Chain A
Amino acid sequence: MVSLLRNQKVRNALLQALYVGSLAATVLACVMIARRNLAEQGITSGFDFLFKSTGWDVNFSLLPATANDPNWWFFLIGIVNTLFLGTTGLVLATIVGTIVGLARTSSNELARLLGRTYVDIFRNIPLILQVFFWYALITHLPTPRAAHEAFGMLLTSRGLYVPVPNVGGTALAAAMLAVIAAIAFPVWLGRTPRLNQPFGERSTIQLASAAGALACAAILLAVGRLPDLPLLDFPALQGLNLKGGLRIPPEFSALAGAIAIYGGSYIAEIVRGGFKAVGKGQMEAALSLGLSPWRVFTQVRLPLALRAMLPILANQYVWLMKATTMGIAVGFTDFFMIVALTINHSGQTLEVIGILMAGFLAINLSLAAVFNRINKAIALKGNQLRG
């Protein structure tokens, strides 16, 4: 027995069994205790509750929702809300970050100073404090009756009212797709290395296809237009309330705004780092080939910088996506808030926590998969082009 314990292989096996076993035992014990405690409160474990109606309502949803809908539908609503808020935040943050990041790398000292001040201030204040601040700011805006007006939009304590086109839902979606295609297709064309050219110059094809797609969008909008209404539906005061337009609730704008500003400060640093990673030699080489500064930027500097940024950017996006959980602080029904509310109402603690973990795992994994694809697509072939 003693000699067995001195045997290294036996020791290793024992150690592993002990480690994994004790972890598994802890988890198991917790689950068992939880099940017993819940059973005492009359809650039976299982996933039946998913198909029962919730009995409560959500304040923000892109999908139709009533208190009679089953729990699984609410989880879906939560995930859609999280993805919507996350994507909006990411896009805005990327725009802000790119502008500030370019300012930080610019050759102009004043622009650099401005960019740096921005980053230093907004990076060093916790996101949730910024969320609280914007939320307080918006909810302290005047009531609808005294609303601020700008460009047809109304700023009120009940949210931001923006004009929307009077167009049927499907047509609107189709038109949006067409606009995306108008941007994406020429870009894709520009990236395909070789093209048989029966139609003439590549740039002509790009222009033509973009114009075609945009025309499509316009036709779709015209066709799908609701009869007997002006093209744009402007919000306006009617009685004590605002009618028309689209209301963006304060919770959403506060969160999206805060994520854009805070995330923008991080992305600015990533952008700056990406440009710094591009070797001076490559730019000098490009300049010495007689390329114009603009072409050097678009054909050499930008693509190389993008490649350097992308992996870090992917991490940042995952982080920002998780930051949407701050919705609960101001009452935005994101996935996590739905989870918390469901636990409160149904008591199915264990199952719901499991769904929470699965949900975030799925979100993380799909984001990672998307970025891996992009990374692979633009990765330099071989190693010869490293700065």
Chain B
Amino acid sequence: MEIVVVAPPAPGRLEDLKRRFFATPLQTLLSLISLTIMALIVWKLLDWAVFSAVFTTTGGPEACQAAAGACWSVIAARWRIILFGLYPFEEQWRSALACVSVVVMTVLSCMPAFWTGRRIALVWGAGTGLYYVLMKGGVLGLPYVGEEAWGGLALTLFIFVTTCLIGFPLAICLALLRRSDLPWISRTTGLIIDGVRSLPLISILFTFAVVLPFALPQWLQGDKLYRVILGSALFFSAYQAEIVRGGMQGVPAGQEEAAMALGMSYWQRIGRILLPQAMRNALPATINQFVISFKETSLVVIVGFFEILASGNAAYGTGEWRFAYVEVYAFIAFIYFVFVFSLSRYGAYLERRMAVGER
């Protein structure tokens, strides 16, 4: 049989549109509904956020409140408190720089060139150290600023970064303990992991912030901020440990046997053979976990920290800007969105890339 290939006539623009959106009555209906919804939302949003909005502070809150659209002047007037909290005004450049150092650190650790245990540790150690020195001061001629004055976006980032910095190694330890051959060690660790996972994060933060001081000797209590970070790191590590363990289960048993047959010690097998492969398997889920835990840092507002949400509440809560809460929340939501969205896009990209690489 002879097969004749007939090229279909190149469709015109109109036909193309018709085929894509109005092929059947049902399709047409769907398209029209979607189009209406979209048009309505986009128009209303644009009108509110741009056309009828007030951008300058010249008229003050009164002029702003009278306007039909958004009152962005509240951001212009209060962005410093949202981003930096109660950090001393003249020193806020340090807070900004500290944020930049964290962002740079995150971007660097997304590059495959830094994906060895040592380099990642170095980047995170340096980034966090730089942040700490900049924020706290007391050295290099920078005036000292205590943790109680930290706030806003800078504090949010600090809590997130330190949570990961403590939680990640802890997660690896927990995962290793849980897959140990020694039954009592693996069972006890399993109990800890599952116990923490069954609790809501808020209850853990509350316990660490409010209850723990009762149960610790004076010298061990430390600052409330660091206790909360510890609690949040514990929570992170319980979830991350299961992800790492999943990654380890994906490494064939033969890999460890081969390493054993070559005479490698336990730590050499773990460090050189098991973990590099397990972390690779676990990478997409790990990034997802980072995304989730970045969003969850916002919960520390409940135990009384002045992070970005609390400073946002303060930014509109006092007096003349009381009506402008939507704008403030929109601004904070936008900041979160930028961080979370780019991180999760990056995760999706990695997942796709790895799926292709497997073939």
Partner-B contacts on A (CB < 8 A): 12, 15-16, 19-20, 23, 30-31, 33-34, 37-38, 103, 106-111, 113-114, 120-121, 123-129, 132-133, 136-137, 140, 322-323, 325-326, 328-329, 336, 339-340, 343, 349, 353, 356-357, 360-361, 364
- Distance in angstroms between the alpha carbons of A326 and B21 in the assembled complex: 42
Q: Tell me, yes or no, whether B48 is within 8 Å of chain A by CB.
A: no
- Interface-side segment among B26-34, B63-71, B127-135: B26-34
Inter-chain contact A114/B37, CB cutoff 8 Å: yes
Q: Tell me, yes or no, whether B57 is within 8 Å of chain A by CB.
A: no
Q: Which residues of B contact A103 (CB under 8 A)?
A: 34
Inter-chain contact A114/B301, CB cutoff 8 Å: no
User: Can you list 14 A-B pairs with a CB-CB distance of less than 8 A?
Assistant: A34-B215, A108-B21, A114-B38, A121-B337, A128-B309, A132-B313, A132-B329, A133-B326, A325-B203, A328-B302, A353-B211, A360-B199, A360-B200, A361-B195
- Distance in angstroms between the alpha carbons of A11 and B296 in the assembled complex: 41
Q: Which residues of A contact B313 (CB under 8 A)?
A: 132
Which among A15, A19, A23, A30 is the interface contact of B215 at CB below 8 angstroms? A30
Residue interface bits B327-351, CB-to-A below 8 A is 1, else 0? 0010011001100110010000000
Inter-chain contact B298/A129, CB cutoff 8 Å: yes
Which among A16, A133, A140, A326 is the interface contact of B184 at CB below 8 angstroms? A16
Which among B34, B184, B185, B298 is the interface contact of A110 at CB below 8 angstroms? B34
Partner-A contacts on B (CB < 8 A): 20-21, 27, 30-31, 33-35, 37-38, 177, 182-185, 188, 192, 195, 198-203, 206-207, 210-211, 214-217, 295-296, 298-299, 301-302, 309, 313, 323, 325-326, 329, 332-333, 336-337, 340-341, 344
- Distance in angstroms between the alpha carbons of A336 and B202 in the assembled complex: 9
Q: Which residues of B contact A38 (CB under 8 A)?
A: 214
Known: A110-B34, A129-B309, A133-B329. A349 touches B336 (CB 8 A): no
CB-based nearest B residue for A19: B185
Q: A34-B211, A325-B202 are known; give 7 further A-B pairs, CB within 8 A.
A: A20-B185, A124-B295, A129-B329, A129-B333, A140-B325, A357-B199, A360-B203
Inter-chain contact B336/A126, CB cutoff 8 Å: yes
Inter-chain contact B202/A111, CB cutoff 8 Å: no
Q: Which residues of B contact A353 (CB under 8 A)?
A: 207, 211
- Distance in angstroms between the alpha carbons of A128 and B211 in the assembled complex: 23
Which among A37, A107, A340, A357 is the interface contact of B27 at CB below 8 angstroms? A107
Inter-chain contact B336/A124, CB cutoff 8 Å: yes
Q: Which residues of A contact B30 (CB under 8 A)?
A: 106, 108, 110-111
Which among B185, B214, B299 is the interface contact of A128 at CB below 8 angstroms? B299
Shortest Cβ distance from A312 into chain B, in angstroms?
A: 13
Inter-chain contact B336/A110, CB cutoff 8 Å: no
Q: Which residues of A contact B211 (CB under 8 A)?
A: 34, 343, 349, 353
Q: Which residues of A contact B206 (CB under 8 A)?
A: 336, 340
Inter-chain contact B184/A108, CB cutoff 8 Å: no
Shortest Cβ distance from A335 into chain B, in angstroms?
A: 9
Inter-chain contact A110/B200, CB cutoff 8 Å: no
Inter-chain contact A125/B337, CB cutoff 8 Å: yes
Sorted nearest first, the 8 A-B pairs with minimum C-beta distance are: A110-B34, A322-B200, A30-B215, A34-B215, A16-B184, A126-B295, A126-B298, A124-B340
Inter-chain contact B185/A129, CB cutoff 8 Å: no
Inter-chain contact B215/A31, CB cutoff 8 Å: yes
Inter-chain contact A33/B200, CB cutoff 8 Å: no
Q: Which residues of B contact A140 (CB under 8 A)?
A: 323, 325
Q: Which residues of A contact B198 (CB under 8 A)?
A: 360-361, 364
Inter-chain contact B21/A328, CB cutoff 8 Å: no
Q: Which residues of A contact B27 (CB under 8 A)?
A: 107-108
Which among B192, B201, B217, B298 is the interface contact of A33 at CB below 8 angstroms? B217
- Chain B contact residues: over half helix, strand or loop, or mixed? helix
- Distance in angstroms between the alpha carbons of A328 and B201 in the assembled complex: 13
Shortest Cβ distance from B294 into chain A, in angstroms?
A: 8
Q: Which residues of A contact B325 (CB under 8 A)?
A: 133, 136-137, 140
- Distance in angstroms between the alpha carbons of A153 and B166 in the assembled complex: 50
Which among A12, A110, A114 is the interface contact of B21 at CB below 8 angstroms? A110
Q: Which residues of B contact A357 (CB under 8 A)?
A: 195, 199
Known: A325-B200, A340-B206, A360-B200. A19 touches B188 (CB 8 A): yes
Shortest Cβ distance from B327 into chain A, in angstroms?
A: 11
Which among A33, A37, A136, A361 is the interface contact of B329 at CB below 8 angstroms? A136
CB-based nearest A residue for B325: A136
Known: A129-B336, A325-B203, A364-B198. A15 touches B182 (CB 8 A): yes
Known: A20-B188, A31-B215. A124 touches B299 (CB 8 A): no
Known: A37-B214, A140-B325, A325-B200. A120 touches B182 (CB 8 A): no
Q: Which residues of A contact B203 (CB under 8 A)?
A: 325, 336, 339, 356, 360
Known: A129-B332, A132-B309. A124 touches B214 (CB 8 A): no
Q: Which residues of B contact A111 (CB under 8 A)?
A: 30-31, 33-34
Inter-chain contact A349/B214, CB cutoff 8 Å: yes
Known: A357-B199, A361-B198. A109 touches B182 (CB 8 A): no
- Distance in angstroms between the alpha carbons of A127 and B294 in the assembled complex: 12
- Distance in angstroms between the alpha carbons of A140 and B65 in the assembled complex: 14
Shortest Cβ distance from A49 into chain B, in angstroms?
A: 16
Inter-chain contact B215/A124, CB cutoff 8 Å: no
Q: Which residues of A contact B201 (CB under 8 A)?
A: 322
Inter-chain contact B295/A127, CB cutoff 8 Å: yes
- Distance in angstroms between the alpha carbons of A49 and B329 in the assembled complex: 42
Q: Which residues of B contact A30 (CB under 8 A)?
A: 215-216
Shortest Cβ distance from B325 into chain A, in angstroms?
A: 4
Inter-chain contact A125/B202, CB cutoff 8 Å: no
Q: Which residues of B contact A128 (CB under 8 A)?
A: 298-299, 301-302, 309
Q: Which residues of B contact A328 (CB under 8 A)?
A: 202, 302
CB-based nearest A residue for B177: A19
Q: Which residues of B contact A125 (CB under 8 A)?
A: 295, 333, 336-337, 340
CB-based nearest A residue for B184: A16
CB-based nearest B residue for A344: B210
Inter-chain contact B202/A326, CB cutoff 8 Å: yes
Inter-chain contact A20/B184, CB cutoff 8 Å: yes
Q: Which residues of B contact A114 (CB under 8 A)?
A: 34, 37-38
CB-based nearest A residue for B198: A364
Inter-chain contact B185/A15, CB cutoff 8 Å: yes
Inter-chain contact B31/A108, CB cutoff 8 Å: yes
Q: Which residues of A contact B34 (CB under 8 A)?
A: 103, 108, 110-111, 113-114
- Distance in angstroms between the alpha carbons of A3 and B214 in the assembled complex: 44
Inter-chain contact B21/A336, CB cutoff 8 Å: no
Inter-chain contact B21/A109, CB cutoff 8 Å: yes
Q: Which of A106, A108, A109, A325 has the most CB of B within 10 A?
A: A108
- Distance in angstroms between the alpha carbons of A329 and B301 in the assembled complex: 8
- Distance in angstroms between the alpha carbons of A124 and B335 in the assembled complex: 10
CB-based nearest A residue for B217: A33
